[in-house]
Amino acid sequence: MEALDSCSIKLNNLSCNLGDKEILHSISIDFTKNKFYSILGPNGSGKTTLLRNIGKALTPSKKTVFIESKDILDLTNKALAKKLAVVPQNAILSFNFSALDIVLMGRYPHIPRFQDESKKDYEIAKHAMEMTDTWHLHNKCINELSGGEQQRVVIARALAQETDIILLDEPISHLDIHQQIEILNTIKLLSRKVTVIAVLHDLNLAAQYSNYLVLVNNGSIAFQGTSDQVLTEKNIKEVYDINVCIIKNPVTGKPLIIPITE
């Protein structure tokens, strides 16, 4: 384990029960600064629950989740929002607001009480929308946008929050391949300055973009490390119960996973 002050996030023996079912079991890991982490694993393995504990959407036990050396339970919601932004799996956008209004909500932690958004807030929101290719949608009602467009607006809201940590739960699930690559390129660029932790399903995209992979199975960390260390034929067979062939991507040198069909 690394020292607390060298980590953006530290998990110390984190477990989580929902009802009478244990979802996470004794997870300990350090997420260091300025890296792109991918959380992988089968459906129901605990990936989203893990992310929700880190983001305090679920309340972890005391002294199990630390954000920049502070116990997450000692931080107010507004203080946490200055450190950490969240892109949920299925953001419910039932408001009759414009896309720009949604993105400006990311500025909430930085705006003093009873004050409106400043010119700087609008500039930050515009820049976030330009990074996610949504500025041309800024005047449109959020409910008029496609699922993929809404997803990119929600990511822009997280960028406008200007935090040092961004959590993303399946951020590319509603996007076509072109948009997936655009968003992952943006996230990869951001990870040079912030800590990014994303739940992804596509093992090949995770291998190409991530600095570090965490493969979760049955509520525990099965494997963690670089893509070469984690994405092996043996590990994938153990966790996903499928046979694969792994070759090197001829462009990036990263693992390229090819399922073996019957």
What is the tens place of the pLDDT at every residue in 151-187?
A: 889 999 999 999 999 999 999 887 889 888 988 998 8
pLDDT of residue 147: 79
Each residue of 79-134: pLDDT tens digit?
Answer: 999 999 999 887 666 678 999 999 999 999 998 887 888 999 999 999 999 988 89
Residue of 51, 70, 69, 71 whose CA lies nearest to 61: 71
pLDDT of residue 58: 93
pLDDT of residue 233: 97
> What radius of gyration do the chain's Cα atoms show?
19
Assessment of whether the complete model's pTM goes beyond 0.75: yes
Looking at the chain, the whole-number percentage of residues with pLDDT higher than 90 is: 74
**Per-chain mean pLDDT for the chain:** 91
Each residue of 12-71: pLDDT tens digit?
Answer: 999 999 888 999 999 999 999 889 999 999 999 999 999 999 999 999 999 999 998 899
Q: Which residues touch 190 (CB under 8 Å, ≥6 apart)? A: 159, 166, 196
Q: Is 211 helix (H, G, I), strand (E, B) or coil?
A: coil
Query: How many angstroms separate the CA atoms of 54 and 83, rounded?
Result: 12
